[in-house]
Amino acid sequence: EIGILESKFNRIRCPDAKSEVVLMGGSAGTGKSTLVRELTKRCIVAGNANAIYAYGKFDQYARREPHAAIVDAFTELCRSGVKIQNDTQIDLESKGVLKHIIPDSYAVIGEIAEDEKLIRRTDSSKNRAEALNRFKYALRLFARATASSEQPLLLFLDDLQWANESSVDIITSLVTDPESRNVLFVLAFRDDEMEEQPHLSRGLCNIGGNKNGTAVTKIKIRALDFDSINGLLSELLSTKPENCSPLTDVVQRKTGGNVFFIIQFVIGIHEEGLLS
Q: What is the pLDDT averaged over residues 175-201?
A: 91
pTM above 0.75, yes or no: yes
* Cα distance between residue 183 and residue 204, in whole Å: 18
Q: What is the pLDDT averaged over residues 109-124?
A: 51
* Cα distance between residue 273 and residue 247, in whole Å: 14
Nearest partner of 52 among 116, 110, 108, judged by Cα: 108
pLDDT greater than 90 at residue 275: no
pLDDT band at 142 (very low <50, low <70, confident <90, very high): very high
Q: What is the pLDDT averaged over residues 132-140?
A: 93
Residue 181 one-letter amino acid: R
Beta bridge partners of 215: 20
pLDDT greater than 90 at residue 37: no
Q: What is the pLDDT of residue 271?
A: 84
Beta bridge partners of 158: 57
- Backbone dihedral angles phi then psi of residue 273, each to the nearest 5 degrees: 75, 25
Q: What is the pLDDT averaged over residues 40-56?
A: 80
pLDDT greater than 70 at residue 182: yes
pLDDT greater than 80 at residue 120: no
Cα 164 from chain centre: 16
CA angle 122, 126, 130 (to 5 degrees): 65
Cα 225 from chain centre: 26
Beta bridge partners of 25: 189, 220
pLDDT greater than 90 at residue 90: no
What SS3 class is residue 212? coil
pLDDT greater than 90 at residue 46: no
Pairing of strands 153-158, 20-26: unpaired
Please give the residue that has the higher pLDDT: either 118 or 177.
177
Nearest partner of 26 among 185, 159, 192, 168, judged by Cα: 192
Nearest partner of 102 among 119, 125, 87, judged by Cα: 119
* Cα distance between residue 266 and residue 269, in whole Å: 5
**SS (HEC) of 13-62:** CCCCCECEEEEEEECCCCCHHHHHHHHHHHHHHCCCCCCEEEEEECCCCC
Q: What is the pLDDT averaged over residues 193-206?
A: 88
pLDDT greater than 60 at residue 225: yes
Please give the residue that has the higher pLDDT: either 240 or 92.
240
pLDDT greater than 80 at residue 168: yes
CA angle 140, 127, 157 (to 5 degrees): 35
